[in-house]
Amino acid sequence: MEESASLLIIDDERGPTESLRMIFKPSYKVFTAAGAEQALSILRTTPIDVVTLDLRMPGMPGIELLERIKEHDPDIEVIIVTGYAALDTAIRGLRHHVFDYITKPFDVPHIADLVRRAVGRRRASVRMRNIKEDFLANLSHELRTPLSAIIGYGAILAEELQSVVNTEQRTALDRIQANSQELLTLIEGVLLLNSLDAGEVPLTVRPFDLAETVRRVGHRYRGVAGDKGLTVDIEIRGTDLIAVSDEEKLERILSALLDNAVKFTPRGGVTLSVRSAPQPGALEIEVSDTGIGMGREEIVHALQGLAQTDSSSRRRYRGLGLGLRIATRLVEFLGGDLRIRSEAGQGTQCIVTLPAGRLGGKSHLPHLN
């Protein structure tokens, strides 16, 4: 038998709260909150499917609370129930994909039907998410296994036939290796994003020398950049740049940003630098390039991932366009901040700010400048 759905009623008026609680208690797991802080506390500790939200409450405005709910879980269905209907709040509610917007006094059969349909849509969303996760987990096995064999046997062939193949054959073997590795990287990028969204990525925190990590990753990209006639400059500004974070995740961030920078820079170079941030207790890493740059709309597309923009200047570059999306999600995961400054034809700057001490606090979405 399917588990009962959970309903959170947010309203500071006791009468409507009790009415709704009595209506839905026989069919749902019902929780109530008289204000924003209590509601957010429940959301942090209890899986909620549907929220009924009053817009006029003391403290945090209802629309701001709606934004916080959708930040916590965009698939939670929200029904606004208010005695003070206004066009601007209705429009803002629609922008945040509320399920419906009704006024007090409410009609009992109507709101009961709304909650029932909202639960149905919520469960459909959860089912689709589970299908996606199962598909990607299967994709991981079905694609990575043959790719590993191709990469392994390709390496054996290249080594065994090194003395007998001609230049053209050597080039073909090198292309097999390069393209197989590229495909494996794309698959792992998609799977990483899926794992981050599902909350299944472990966090390993320890102190490490951030300057040394930056040097190591930067040197790794000098070869591929040199093949394009580009330079990779590494700048270490300051001493004792010790971070307490997940070093492996930080390396993935740097790799994603450097890969993007080298890919979209036809001439000139890339600069990777690390320094103390202006704000106390934080460190900054900057990846800047002299490449083709992006307009504001292009940045938004890149942050969404899985697609490059339609701009003809970028469509000639291969890939799924996952670099910035992976970097953004991992920076959020580490409790940091990513700022992007770019203009079409003027290159791009990506500045990552990380807490130097113990991780904590609210992560931030990228700032577009």
Q: Is the CB of residue 81 less than 8 Å from the CB of residue 11?
A: yes
Q: Where are the alpha helices (DSSP H) in 79-236?
A: 87-95, 108-160, 167-197, 210-220, 222-227
Alpha-carbon distance of 48 to 36, in angstroms, equals 15
Domain boundaries, the chain: 6-106, 128-197, 206-368
Distance, CA of 177 to CA of 146 (rounded, Å): 13
pLDDT tens per residue across span 150-203: 888 888 888 888 888 888 888 888 888 888 877 887 777 777 877 777 677 888
Lowest mean pLDDT among 75-84, 87-96, 225-234, 330-339: 87-96
Architecture per CATH, 6-106: 3-Layer(aba) Sandwich (3.40)
Mean of pLDDT over the chain: 83
Let me know: does 12 contact 35? Beta carbons within 8 Å. yes
Q: What is the pLDDT of residues 318-340, one digit of tens each?
A: 545 677 888 888 998 888 888 99
Say what the pLDDT of residue 365 is. 42
Strand-strand pairing, 242-245 and 206-209: antiparallel
On the question of pLDDT at 65 being above 50, the answer is yes
The CATH class given to the 206-368 domain equals alpha beta
Rounded to two decimals, what is the model's pTM? 0.58
Instruction: Tokens for 102, please give them.
Output: 């009704």
